[in-house]
Amino acid sequence: MIAGPSPLPVIDRRTYRQLMTDVVEVSGAVKRFGSVSALDGLDLSVRQGEVHGFLGPNGAGKTTTLRVLLGIVRADAGGIRVFGLDPWWDIPTLHARLAYVPGDVALWPNLTGGEVIDLIGHLEGGHDATRRDRLVEMFDLDPTKRARSYSKGNRQKVALIGALASRAELFLLDEPTSGLDPLMEDTFRRCVRELRDEGRTVLLSSHILSEAEALSDRISIIRGGTVVETGTLDQLRHLTRTAVTADVAAVPPGLDRLPGVHDVEVAGNRVSAQVEPSGLAPLLQSLAAAGLHTLTSHPPSLEELFLRHYGAVDDGVADAEGRERV
Amino acid sequence: MSDTLTGTPAGMPTGLRRRTRAGTLAGTLVGTTRMIGLAGRRDRWLLSAWLIGLAAMAGVSAKATVDLYPDVASREEAARSINASAALVALYGRIYDPGSLGEVSMIKLTAFGSALVGVLMLFIVVRHTRAEEEEGRLELLSGGRLGHGAPLAAALVLADGASLLLGLLTAAALAGAGLPVAGSVAFGLGWTATGVAFASVGAVVAQVTTSARAARGLGLVVLSIAYALRAIGDLAEPGPSWLSWLSPIGWTQQVRAFAGDRWWVLLLPLALSALLVPAAFVLRVRRDLGAGLLADRPGPARGSIDGVRDLAVRLQGRILLGWAVGFAIGGVLLGSIASSITDFLASDSARQFFSKLGGSQSLIDSFIGAELGILGAIAAAYGISAAGRLRTEEVEGHVEPLLATTTTRLRWAASHVTVALLGVVILMVVAGVAMGTATALALHDGAQFGRVLAVALAQIPAAWVMTGLVVTLFGWAPRATPAAWGVFAVFLTLGEFGVLWNAPAWLMDLSPFQHTPRLPVTSGWALPLSALTLVAATLVAAGLAGWRERDVPA
């Protein structure tokens, strides 16, 4: 913000809407391809300045959602707003403010990587030149090679550099690290953190849970074209169980009858169980009464969260109760 | 989530909403300049070569004709013989001013040449629109400021600009060769107008299908219909009938460059374009990236493809079926035109002319030979395209997983080569049967069936040589595989213009089509046909040998 005694800017209704609304707002989005329903009443909101992890298995509708937000696929129904605008009709305004990395990167075989990066840059309204060169170096890409000789990882780097070097405020990234080696994955994570530190917004579609876990401020989990969970990692963890392992003097009977305590296993003096947040206090009380020697607990990993939604064959929400382990 | 988010932006003041919508056209086209740059960058050499080649072809033909027919009498003689031959009128059209040097020299390039220009522009538009979508490259750019219609607009600007440039180059080449300037400009702009018309056809077909291959096929069907309509229309006495006026290629002829220069006819293709282009944009803006008008239907859950031979049939069978249908229709059309041959004999001068050449059967024979020669060349094009699948399958990475199985290289390559070789046979048999039947019915002469079928089958070995050439290139110089199309184009051009240009005999003899025997059927047919077959077999064997030795992918 500019310091000094400048008069307050007059804010018209449109700007006001944009200030007050999330960067991405989707409500009840529906998209059918023939008889197949790709999006089935999807709700999604991405806030200004956050890294939003968008998780789901193959075919859940991640890519379709991103394409709808990009305005290259048109939803059959639902309210779709990016920066408060309609992505299908407002491409010139919107795309000056966003950048995209597709899930499948195809390049022109007889253009060089550098040429493609700069083409993307021109279409995005100009790259930050120093940033572009730094990214080329960071990702260890030879931009003079013809695209036909690039491996999958190198094609991916071209698309990543093309997007990350832009001055966009919103980044739509569709499984951006597929094909990258672990070293480059690390580079990518550093870039995303940089973007967040600069106050830019990232919607990161992925099925690599550790990646989403490491980068995301908030996470939405999509299944069958619907978002089934959304929130911060901590909020999502609250919905689920903590793994508790304890060594006690003598194992008290009836632990598996305590409310909110599941999967109790006893081996000698060692007890392990999966505990809902509400069951923690009663369990700890009875363990303490039994002479507690050691206690370890860890929150569920994202992977466990994910498996709870997808591990079961049946309906997602019901699984939260009757869960099945893999 | 707020309720204002359902459907239209209800919360937005109407003034703002209107402004957003009013920006729609400009918004659809945003990024067009960059896309023109991209298309131009990709096509600069190929397109330049095409434009210069086509203009040079016109210029060289004009120069050769100027030397060949120095006086009016010799031109009138040539014009009469062309107008008297149904085969030539169906192929090339009529000469409307027998004394016109320009018309006599450009007769082969008016309908035929503008069809070539049409194919070129159609392919350019599909290449930069549907093909880019199908390959997924447009998606990479769609994060940028790229309107829905920008790639289409860029493709049209490129194709229309190339058409205009081609027209001007051609006009300059013709005038430079000594033809009247006004007629040269009319002829050049005739090509421009056809190019513009078929570029717009390309714009529409690219919206309809999801694959570029199918879009090109659909466009070629439209072009073939246009060509056939004018062929039938031009044959009517005294020609042309209203059918010719339904065809963009017919319009180019009716400009009558060098024979009155009817400039207003040039407006017809432009008007067609003014109808088709907005339609294409409306179709584009209403559909998703990558989608066609028809959604893909689900297929079988379990596969019944049993080995690579089955796979090749599955990949190419439907395409071959489409070609066969086209050949059947083409054969019937060409055969039924044969009845108008006898109409030609009604005029005294024509009867005299042909009795000198051996009577009415020779007229019919020359017609059968010319029409089937064209179909034979098209069948050769099929063979090149079907065998070219070897290379596209390799480039797209489909071969490696197959070769990782027990499939041998030879077996895999043989599967596509077989489809190509047998495909050529199937097409010519279909064409021969269809045209033979139609000719026999049209002339009330059952004996014509056998003659037509024999000529149709005689086209096969030459087409096989082209297939063999593709396999050889694939085996030894894989990246040069598409060069087979260039060789094919050179052979066709030599066959069409070699005599006129005084090309050396050895050069013309390189073309396999030069050795296909003509009617009547004699024992002399055996030697050239078996020689051509042997050459084809050698080329295939050599190619397969190279393929077994080389790296994959190369």
> Which residues of chain B lie closer than 8 angstroms to A110, CB-CB?
42
Determine the distance in angstroms separating the CA of B293 from the nearest CA of chain A, rounded to an integer.
11
Cα nearest neighbour of A110 on chain B: B42
pLDDT in tens, B214-240: 898 889 889 988 998 898 888 877 767
Determine the distance in angstroms separating the CA of B36 from the nearest CA of chain A, rounded to an integer.
12
The CA distances from residue A30 to A53, A76, A205, B288, B404, in Å, are 21, 5, 19, 14, 42
How far, in Å, CA of A71 to CA of B539, rounded? 51
- Assess B482–A contact: CB distance below 8 Å, yes or no: no
A 10 A CB-CB count for A103 gives 18
Please tell me the predicted confidence (pLDDT) of residue A323: 35
Indicate the pTM of the whole model. 0.79
Cβ-Cβ contacts under 8 Å for B291 (sequence gap 6 or more) = A33, A73, B210
- Mean local confidence (pLDDT), B441-458: 90
Please tell me the predicted confidence (pLDDT) of residue A316: 38
- Assess B136–A contact: CB distance below 8 Å, yes or no: yes
> Which residues of chain A lie closer than 8 angstroms to B5, CB-CB?
25-27, 79-81
How far, in Å, CA of B155 to CA of B275, rounded? 17
- Mean local confidence (pLDDT), A14-28: 73
Sign of the C-alpha dihedral computed for residues B52, B55, B59 and B61 taken in this order: positive
Cα nearest neighbour of B131 on chain A: A108
Cα nearest neighbour of B396 on chain A: A148
B9 has a pLDDT exceeding 60: no
Residue B350 confidence class, pLDDT cut points 50, 70, 90: low
The CA distances from residue A42 to A25, A46, A51, A317, B70, in Å, are 10, 13, 19, 15, 78
Q: Under a CB-based contact definition with an 8 Å cutoff, are residues B152 and B129 in contact?
A: yes
> Which residues of chain B lie closer than 8 angstroms to A65, CB-CB?
none
User: What angle, 0 to 180 degrees and rounded to 10, lies between the N-to-C axes of helices A182-197 and A129-138?
Assistant: 150
> Which residues of chain A lie closer than 8 angstroms to B147, CB-CB?
91-92
Nearest-CB residue to A108 (from B13, B31, B137): B137
A 10 A CB-CB count for A46 gives 24
- Mean local confidence (pLDDT), A117-124: 88
Q: Under a CB-based contact definition with an 8 Å cutoff, are residues B496 and B108 in contact?
A: yes
Identify any residues that bridge with A262 across adjacent strands, giving them in sequence order: A274
Helices (H) and strands (E) counted in chain B, each on its own, are 24, 0
How far, in Å, CA of B87 to CA of B54, rounded? 24
Contact at CB, B5 and A79, closer than 8 angstroms: yes
pLDDT in tens, B20-77: 443 567 788 989 999 999 999 999 998 999 999 999 999 988 888 888 887 888 888 8
How far, in Å, CA of A170 to CA of B74, rounded? 74
- Mean local confidence (pLDDT), A139-161: 92
Stronger pLDDT, A317 or A77, i.e. the higher one: A77
3-state SS, B218-266, equals HHHHHHHHHHHHHHHHHHCCCCCCHHHHHCHHHHHHHCCCCCCCCHHHH
Q: Under a CB-based contact definition with an 8 Å cutoff, are residues B467 and B424 in contact?
A: yes
A20 has a pLDDT exceeding 60: no
As a whole number, the mean pLDDT across chain B is 87
Torsion of the alpha carbons at B125, B130, B135 and B140, rounded to the nearest 10: 90
pLDDT-above-70 percentage for chain B: 91
In B69-128, alpha helices (H): 72-83, 86-92, 101-128
Using DSSP, state whether B442 is helix, strand or coil: helix
Q: Position of tokens 């169906």?
A: B90
A321 has a pLDDT exceeding 50: no
> Which residues of chain B lie closer than 8 angstroms to A17, CB-CB?
11-12
Determine the distance in angstroms separating the CA of B2 from the nearest CA of chain A, rounded to an integer.
8
As a whole number, the mean pLDDT across chain A is 84
> Which residues of chain A lie closer than 8 angstroms to B288, CB-CB?
67, 72-74
Q: Locate B443 and state its tokens.
A: 């002339």
pLDDT in tens, A168-213: 999 999 999 988 999 999 999 999 999 999 999 999 998 877 888 8
Identify each DSSP E strand in chain A by its residue range: 24-33, 36-46, 51-55, 77-82, 98-101, 170-174, 201-206, 218-223, 226-232, 242-248, 261-267, 270-275, 292-298
Cα nearest neighbour of A158 on chain B: B140
Residue A117 confidence class, pLDDT cut points 50, 70, 90: very high
Contact at CB, B137 and A92, closer than 8 angstroms: no
Please tell me the predicted confidence (pLDDT) of residue A2: 44
Please tell me the predicted confidence (pLDDT) of residue B16: 41
Least confident of A167-176, A246-255, B154-163, B419-428: A246-255
B293 has a pLDDT exceeding 80: no
Short-list B440, B418, B297, B471, CA closest to B368 = B440
Please tell me the predicted confidence (pLDDT) of residue B353: 60
B502 has a pLDDT exceeding 90: no
Contact at CB, B145 and A91, closer than 8 angstroms: yes
The CA distances from residue B31 to A15, B125, B437, in Å, are 25, 17, 55
Contact at CB, B288 and A90, closer than 8 angstroms: no
Determine the distance in angstroms separating the CA of A42 from the nearest CA of chain B, rounded to an integer.
12
Contact at CB, B6 and A85, closer than 8 angstroms: no
Q: Under a CB-based contact definition with an 8 Å cutoff, are residues A169 and A131 in contact?
A: no
- Mean local confidence (pLDDT), B485-507: 89
Determine the distance in angstroms separating the CA of A176 from the nearest CA of chain B, rounded to an integer.
12
Contact at CB, A123 and B34, closer than 8 angstroms: yes
Least confident of A35-39, A138-142, B10-14: B10-14
Is A120 exposed, middle or buried (CB count within 10 Å of its CB: 0-12, 13-18, 19+)?
buried
Is A313 exposed, middle or buried (CB count within 10 Å of its CB: 0-12, 13-18, 19+)?
exposed
Short-list B58, B329, B295, CA closest to B171 = B58
pLDDT-above-90 percentage for chain B: 52
B11 has a pLDDT exceeding 50: no
Nearest-CB residue to B296 (from A34, A98, A120): A34
Please tell me the predicted confidence (pLDDT) of residue A280: 86
> Which residues of chain A lie closer than 8 angstroms to B39, CB-CB?
none
- Mean local confidence (pLDDT), A101-107: 89
How far, in Å, CA of B388 to CA of B420, rounded? 9
pLDDT in tens, B359-393: 566 777 878 888 899 899 999 999 999 999 999 99
How far, in Å, CA of B494 to CA of B365, rounded? 22
Residue A21 confidence class, pLDDT cut points 50, 70, 90: low
